[in-house]
Amino acid sequence: MGALLPTLQANRLREGLTDYLATTFALTDPDAQGALTDFIGHPVSGMFKGPYARLRLPFAPAQGNWGMHLDWWPEWFTPYGHQAEAFKRLSTKFQPRPLPTLVTTGTGSGKTESFLYPILDHVMRANAAGVTGMKALLIYPMNALANDQEQRLAKLITEDPRLAGVSAGLYTGEQSSGGRTMLSAAGLITDRRLMHDAPPDILLTNYKMLDHLLLRPDRAEMWRQSADSLHYVVLDEFHTYDGAQGTDVAMLLRRLGLTVKAHWTDASAVTEADRARPLGKITPVATSATLGSGEEPTAMLEFAHTVFGDVFPRDTLIGETRRTAEEWLGDRGTELDGVYRPRTRPEVAAAIKEFEQYGNAPGGPSKRSNAELTALALASLFERPGETDIELKRQIRELRRLEPAEQIDLLKRSPVFRELLAHAQHAIPLAALTDLLIPGPERETLRDRDIRRKYIDLLLAALSHLRAEIGRSALNVDVHLWFRELSRIDRAVGAATRYHWADDGAPADHGTTYLPAVFCRHCGRSGWGCRLAPTGHTLDVTDEEIRRYHASGGPRFRALISATAESHLGKAVEGLRWLRVAGSRDHRGDTGSRECRGAGGTGAADPVPVGTGCGRELHPRPVPGVRRGRRHPIPRQRRGHPALGGAVEHVR
């Protein structure tokens, strides 16, 4: 199975959800169904936002003598620049106490290694000096994260003979009795009784179990033995500790500091600064997601100070270090420069229809391999000098034979690709990226615009494939598709069908009344939801609690089904009424139908034909389980006429 190509999958996800919703609602009125499809897929106000794309350059390797701060690291390991900066702050080789550190780097940047390697280095040095007790406490927000780190740490320790004397344990609620008494390739120590009496060098836990350890008097021996040895407390996924959970953790850390201080003795090497800090000699460390582009770190530093109680100056924040575009583009092989000529942007724009036809030929693009799609993208960007008429299939075969490293070297030479990289280093909608890279004419068909968009999808898909083949030395492609909860949809009261998100404030057409959109799950008819006023038979259409009243099964809720077709039959129709939102008098038309008055609403004075019952005329197709000529469940029944896009039963 090939790697996931996000741009292609985002389109399939959007199309799949749209088809699913169309099938789920299956409105029988073509106008209502078409308006709903257009409403959901509207590029600005619809259900979907994006996709957005961003190209991330590889992380920059560390420069200089980074190894001087550590005595231990894996033999195969070369750090990134931000990791080396963290090593310098967290190492105890040249300083008695590691410095508070916040590592805010992206996925795959080695956040764990940034603090774990200095901790292991410190543990080795402390053990060699005869120091016992816990040296580092690693706190995770979820057991799943702790379990994942358990396997990584166990593998790291057991595979390196230099770490043979290091002990590590996992303390979560999943292991209440028994467990492993020795660290092995199978996992860390999990026997609680053993860890209470002889705490491991490194303890992985969550904040709830830390509360348990601090609360129980019979766990005090663990803290007594660790009062002088505990140097690190690490909060992983620091950005998740907000709200009440952040307050709980802040209080918990202060209890940890007080507990450790209570076990200090006259022999403890502590300073006045240690006594003044809430955590004492313990250094706070946190890892978090990256800050937003251009975002000031002040809020993060203040939040860290609030949680840990320690001082976090600006240099405690370590962000990711990446290569520049010039460095990365210049680092390429030149063996193929004389073989392929890069096409100019006008040449690419003129040729993309041919490539689109090939990609959409039988068997593609969903049936084509990732390697073939990548070769197709390269063929659109390059040609052999003197062989402009070479068959496209032959071009693709030749380009497919190249190694992934050779393919990425070719891409780096393309002016179109270089412009793509320049525009997409920050998140950008794919539609905007398409217009920047391959501008279309002023008058353009939707099909031609779709072809340009699919071509950009193809280029980004090729980059995703090369990333999977080459690894972290290639560009990383981030694709985000947002879709909102399908709920609280209003429908305009009128002959023309228009929808509006109730949560988006007042609609642009201020003179039109909007009511909650409902549909009949039995026959597919659609209309509006309202409720009877407290007295009389007037409809209350200004009540903002209609949805809540409907969900609670209130007896005065009414579903009014659009009945435009029935109003033109020229005869009396059972259940047909005329809804005049702004009206003030009853009306009986030629068909013998009556008017439903809407109290307090605004809108056009023209009445709207609605059905208050589901009889034969209002159901042109048979309804399963309902005999011809009889009503199926009437509109006031909540289960028969749910809100259109109620979220609970559809997409959340």
Q: Are 499 and 39 in contact (CB under 8 A)?
A: yes
Average pLDDT over residues 494-520: 87
Q: DSSP letter string over 560-599? A: EEE-TTGGGSSS--TTEEEEETT--S----TT--EEEEEE
Q: Would you state the pLDDT for residue 182?
A: 94
* Residue 640, pLDDT above cutoff 90: no
pLDDT of 294 strictly over 70: no
Q: What is the pLDDT of residue 399?
A: 93
CB contact at 8 A, 543 and 594 = no
Domain ranges of the chain: 6-28+49-58+327-483, 79-319, 489-611
Separation CA 13–CA 607 (nearest Å): 41
Predicted TM-score (pTM) of this structure: 0.82
The closest alpha carbon to 125, from 162, 150, 88, belongs to: 162
Separation between Cα atoms, residue 153 and residue 587, nearest integer Å: 79
Segment 145-168 shows an average pLDDT of 95
Structure-derived torsion over alpha carbons of residues 373, 378, 383, 389, reported in degrees to the nearest 10:
10
**Interacting residues of 14 by C-beta distance below 8 A, sequence separation 6+:** 48, 481, 483
Asked if the model's pLDDT at residue 496 lies above 60, the reply is: yes
Rounded to 5°, the CA angle 123-128-134 comes to 35
625: pLDDT strictly greater than 60 = no
The C-alpha torsion from 214 through 216 and 222 to 226, rounded to 10°, is: 30
Residue with the bigger pLDDT between 627 and 551: it is: 551
Q: What is the mean pLDDT of residues 200-225?
A: 94
What superfamily does domain 79-319 belong to in CATH? P-loop containing nucleotide triphosphate hydrolases (3.40.50.300)
CA atoms in the 13 A half-sphere facing the CB of 174: 12
Average pLDDT, the chain: 85
Q: Who's near 142: CB < 8 A, 6+ residues apart? A: 206
- Block residue for tokens 């040609």: 383
pLDDT value at residue 404 = 96
d(CA 476, CA 55): 6
Instruction: Quote the tokens at residue 8.
Output: 């292609």
Residue 541: predicted pLDDT: 73
Looking at residue 628, its pLDDT comes to 40
How do residues 369-390 score in pLDDT, each as one tens digit? 899 999 999 999 999 887 655 6
Under a CB-based contact definition with an 8 Å cutoff, are residues 116 and 153 in contact?
Answer: yes
Which helix (H) or strand (E) is 123 found in, with range?
helix 111-128
Q: What is the dihedral of CA 144, 149, 152, 157, to 10 degrees?
A: -140
What is the per-residue pLDDT across 89-126, written as a single tens digit (0 to 9) for each? 999 999 999 999 999 998 889 999 999 999 999 999 99
- Show the tokens assigned to 505: 């404030």
Task: Encode pLDDT of 57-96 as tens digits.
Answer: 999 999 989 999 999 999 999 999 999 999 999 999 999 9
Answer positive or negative: Cα dihedral of 331, 334, 337, 339: negative
Q: Which residues pair with 527 in a beta bridge?
A: 518, 561
Cα–Cα distances (Å) from 61 to 328, 395, 470, in that order, read 12, 36, 17
**Phi (first) and psi of residue 614, to 5 degrees:** -115, 80
